[in-house]
Amino acid sequence: MKQLYEHHAEVCKTLANPKRLEIINLLRSGEKSVALLLRETGLLKANLSQHLSLMRNKGIIHARKEGLSVFYSIANPKIIKACDLMREVLFEQLEERKEALRKWKT
């Protein structure tokens, strides 16, 4: 069981980066080329490559080569669901804070 917790923590650490979350969001609609990811993220090629490599090694994304181009996709659609659930929690927390601030001001 400890190994599972360790692996879970490693995957969460991998996801704990705004650019990686942006990449996941870009891939939610389907496979994208490295060229498109470069354009959309504004990252330098070396930096994007590091992020993609790390996510690929953790099983978050898959790579497919076609000629000279490399395409990436989400390895498991549940990754998108997990990110969406976390985003919902964050929005709920923001609303709770706004409500508490409104009550405090009155």
Does CATH number 1.10.10.10 belong to domain 2-76? yes
pLDDT of residue 68: 94
pLDDT of residue 105: 81
Q: Quick one: CA torsion of 20, 25, 26, 29, rounded to 10 degrees?
A: 140
The domains of the chain are located at 2-76
Surface-to-core class of residue 61, CB atoms within 10 Å of its CB (0-12 exposed, 13-18 middle, 19+ buried): buried
pLDDT of residue 15: 93
pLDDT of residue 20: 97
Q: Is-contact 24 52, C-beta < 8 A?
A: no
**pTM (two decimals):** 0.86
Q: What is the pLDDT along the chain (106 residues), one digit of tens a residue?
A: 999 999 999 999 999 999 999 999 999 999 999 999 999 999 999 999 999 999 999 999 999 999 999 999 999 999 999 999 999 999 999 999 998 888 888 7
